[in-house]
Amino acid sequence: MNHKHRYDKPRRSSTELPIGLMLLAVLGIAAYLFVAGAFSGDSQNVAVYLPQTAASNPR
């Protein structure tokens, strides 16, 4: 009996499709955020104030 199954060769799985889908999703989200940020029109200047530290007397 001659079987057509080849058990001695390892099966290869392709990872190109999931990586491509993830890359497209990341690019789509980045483009959405960029476009939404450009057209939001709510541009406010943000100021960050750091807390003042107490000066110590070095001896």
Q: What is the DSSP string of the chain?
A: -------SSPPP---HHHHHHHHHHHHHHHHHHHHHHHH----------PPPPPPP---
pLDDT score, position 45:
77
* pTM of the shown model: 0.46
Q: 1-59: per-residue pLDDT in tens? A: 555 666 777 777 666 678 889 999 999 999 999 998 888 776 677 788 888 887 766 66
pLDDT score, position 3:
58
pLDDT score, position 58:
61
